[in-house]
Each structure stands twice: as C-alpha cells, then as structure tokens.
Amino acid sequence: MLVAVVAVAVAVAVAMAVPALRHRLVRSALRRAGGRYRRRLEALDSDVRLSQERRLRRLLGTGTAGGWEEFQERHPLGQPCLDEAPRIPLPPLRLWALLPGCWDTDPRLQRALHVLEAGLAAELHDALVTLRTEWPRLAQELELGRLSPQPGLPEELREQLQALLSPAAARAAELRAECARGFEGIVLRLWPQLEVVVVRMMYGTERLYCDSLRQADCQGLPFYCPFYQAAGALLGVNLWPAEPAPRFVLCPDWAFCEFLPCLASKEPRTVLLDELWEGREYGLVVTAQPGEYRCRTGEVLKVIGFHKQCPVVEPVRRESQTLSVRGESIPEEQFCQSLCRTLSLWPGAHLIDYVCVESSLLGDSSGPCAPHYEVFMELQGLRDLSEVQRYKLDQCLQEDFPIYKSFRFKGSIGPLRLHLVRPRSFTQLREALGSPVPMPRVLHEEQLLQLIQGAVIS
C-alpha cells in the first residue's frame, strides 16, 4: 500500500516539476503499479477471514495461539479513539498557504499540472477564498519576484518560497486577467491541463466544501478520494474514481476490523468483516497498532455491496456529531438535509458553512428557556433573516424528526435559535482548530463557541 501512496505522490510532484514526456512515463509506471496492487487486493478478497486472522496475529505478536474470540475476551471494547493530532494553533491563512503551482514561474510547468491534491476539501476551499480576496497582492509578488512580509510564516518556509520566485510578468498578467473575469472555473483556467482534484476526505462534513468547489472555483473538474482512513489507519480503497460519491473496499490486511450493528441491543456483540449484511449500518471498531486494541472510532459505515468477499462501504456519520438534548438523537447528515431543505425556502440564500451547539454548552448565556439547539450559519445572498424565516428550520426539523416534534410540543425542548455570522468566520474557526481536521458540526468546546459567538452579525 505504501508503494501505491508514494507512487501517487511522485506522480503529482513530477507533474509540477518536469517536462511533459517524463510526466507521461511516470504516469505509465503508476498505472502498472496500480494494476499490480489491484491484483494483490483481488487475491486477498478471496478469503477475508483468513486475511483478518493473519493480520490479528501480526498485531498481537508471537505466543498468541488463540483466535479472535480469545482476543475479545482478553481485550474489552476500548474507549473512543482520537482521530486527530495534538492541537497546534495555525497562523492566519496568508498568500503563502496558496497552491504551490501559483509560485512556479516556468510556463512549461504551469501547463504540466495534471493533478491538484489537498488533504481536506476545506483546506482547498479556504485557499481559494484567499485567492478571491488577495489576488492583486499575489500577482504583484509574482511580477516583482519578491515575497512581501508574511506574519506567522516560518522563516525557513519563507526562504524556500523566495528561492522559487523570480520576476514573472507574463504569469502575473495571466493571473490578473483570469481573476478579473471572475472565479467560476478559476482553477481550470489557471491550470488548463488539470484532470482531477484529489482529496483525503470528500464525505461527511467535507461534502459541503466539495459541492461548493464543484459549483464554483473547480467547476468542470472531477473529485477523487482514493482512501478511507479512520483512527489514524488506512482501511479501504476507492476503486471507482468516476463515481461522484466515494465508496471504499475495506482491505482485510490493513487492520483488524470489528463492527457494532447500529440497531442492536445496548451491549451488542461485534461482528467481523465477513459477517456484514448489505444495506445495514455498523459502528467501526479498529485494531491497527500493537497495544491499541479494539478502538471505537465513532464512525458509522453503511454496507452498500461487496467486492468478492470484501464489503464495499460508505461513511455516513460520526457519532460525536449527533445533536441530542433530550435523547432525541439527530445525526449530522440528517440535520444537514433538513437545513438544506430550509434553505430552499429562502430565495437567494446560499449556504457557506454552519455549526450547531447544544444549549448546555452555553451555560447562563442560554437564558431560562428549555434545552435547545443554536445554529451559527454563514450565508451568501442574504444579509438578514426575518423571524418567520428563522423559524422555518425549527419547523423543518419537526417535520423530519417526529421525536423532536413531540418534545417541542411538550415544551421539554425549546425553539431553535439561528444566528448569522460575518464572512470568513468559519475560516477563522478552522484555523483555531489547529492541525487540519474534519470540521465539527456540533461544537463541544467553549473556546470554539466563544470564537463563533464573537462573529455573530444577526
């Protein structure tokens, strides 16, 4: 698997740094490596249980003769695992954070960029938002070949970027001309040879950013998410790059996986990779590192089919992102559907981003009313909402969730409160999150809550 990942990275690097002939040779080598790895995956798919048992023995080490039943007895289900690095505050997003291709002044290399890669769709979204607002400054720096002072930019990185720059009046003129035309399809206009946008996540909370990019800046380009990752481990591969919604084959030799049926009793028995049923949803439990056994990832997967014996899954939600003030449990993807339905009732409104908060996090600032949700939203096309419009979201939730409607009728859940925030508030919120992580839709930290409360304009 490492070979395939390295090959992808090499292909992207070559696309930005060598002539077209060598790029074609590397792409050919990558296709051959991909074919070899796919044949290996096909062989593993033929006996999933055996592959999983071998993987478990490698994780447990020598002297472990027992099977997975003994493993379950010796290691009870663990605590939820953390799927993120320690939080490191990021400096404000500046021009140096934009796409490396912007800084390359060789016209041959600008036309050779075939793959645009980003860790998260949100990162690419934020970089292109910065391009919209600061392209005159970027064009000037390209023209002069000199990087202006950038607060928060590490000196070593500044020196690396400055070494790449030389006066490029022609490229600066191209940038000015294309940005002056507007930003619909700007990525393909700046790099005409682009074929695909590759991102690490384009499901769950990242789907909002992918949809926004597809409709505007990255119009005309397909998006591809090659791998499924959870709890810091690679677990699956996407064999269908042409499909708009990513689906993944869970690979039996990458980690030992167990699954908790979502509609089972309070203490359900986990099932294994070869015991899953098509159409059902399961909570994911992973053993990927020695000593870190039976980690509850908090991810819920839906089995949509099989590739030989291996299940093909779609990630559907994160358990930590469920709204619940009275046990009503509204999952993030279903809340988002209700929110999008509400927006269709507000003519001219376009959703940029949103987060939710349960009133318990608000403390005394929530007032004396019953427990409720508060939603913070950035909109384009509307500067304010009437009280009737604000109530539409609460009304849609009642229509979509009978339990929520029942609690609202009884008065045990108060009316939802909706707030509009100023532009780029969510870019600042993601910067406060630190190392790039998927955007939380339900905030659980007071620091993040205070930041978004400070951005409220209506």
SS (H, E, C) the chain: CHHHHHHHHHHHHHHHHCCHHHHHHHHHHHHHHHHHHHHHHHHHHCCHHHHHHHHHHHHHCCCCCCCHHHHHHHCCCCCECCCCCCCCCCCCCCHHHCCHHHHCCCHHHHCCCCEEEEEEHHHHHHHHHHHHHHHHHHHHHHHHCCCCCCCCCCHHHHHHHHHHCCCCHHHHHHHHHHHHCCCCCHHHHHCCCCCEEEEEECCHHHHHHHHHHHHCCCCCCCEECCEEEECCEEEEECCCCCCCCCCEEECCCCCEEEEEECCCCCCCCCEEHHHCCCCCEEEEEEECECCECCEEEEEEEEEEEEECCEEEEEEEEEHHHCECCCCCCECHHHHHHHHHHHHCCCCCCEEEEEEEEEHHHHHHHHCCCCCCEEEEEEEECCCCCCHHHHHHHHHHHHHHCHHHHHHHHHCCCCCCEEEEECCCHHHHHHHHHCCCCCCCCECCCHHHHHHHHCCECC
Mean pLDDT calculated for residue range 167-173:
89
pLDDT at residue 6 is higher than 50? no
pLDDT at residue 10 is higher than 50? no
Mean pLDDT of the chain: 82
Residues of the chain with pLDDT > 70: what percent?
80
d(Cα 185, Cα 402) in Å, to the nearest integer? 42
- Sorting pLDDT into bands at 50, 70 and 90, what band is 223? very high
Q: What pLDDT shows up at residue 27?
A: 57
Mean pLDDT calculated for residue range 415-428:
93
- Sorting pLDDT into bands at 50, 70 and 90, what band is 244? confident
Phi/psi for 403 (5° steps) reads: -65, -45
pLDDT at residue 53 is higher than 60? yes
Mean pLDDT calculated for residue range 277-300:
90
| Residue pLDDT, tens place only, 338-391 | 999 999 999 889 999 999 999 999 887 667 789 999 999 999 988 888 899 999
| Residue pLDDT, tens place only, 95-150 | 444 444 444 445 555 577 788 888 889 989 988 988 898 899 889 988 988 888 77
Q: What pLDDT shows up at residue 180?
A: 94
- Sorting pLDDT into bands at 50, 70 and 90, what band is 21? low
Q: Per the structure block, which two tokens stand in for 315?
A: 């990630």
| Residue pLDDT, tens place only, 195-216 | 999 998 888 888 899 999 999 9
Give yes or no for a contact between 393 and 338, defined as CB atoms under 8 angstroms apart: yes
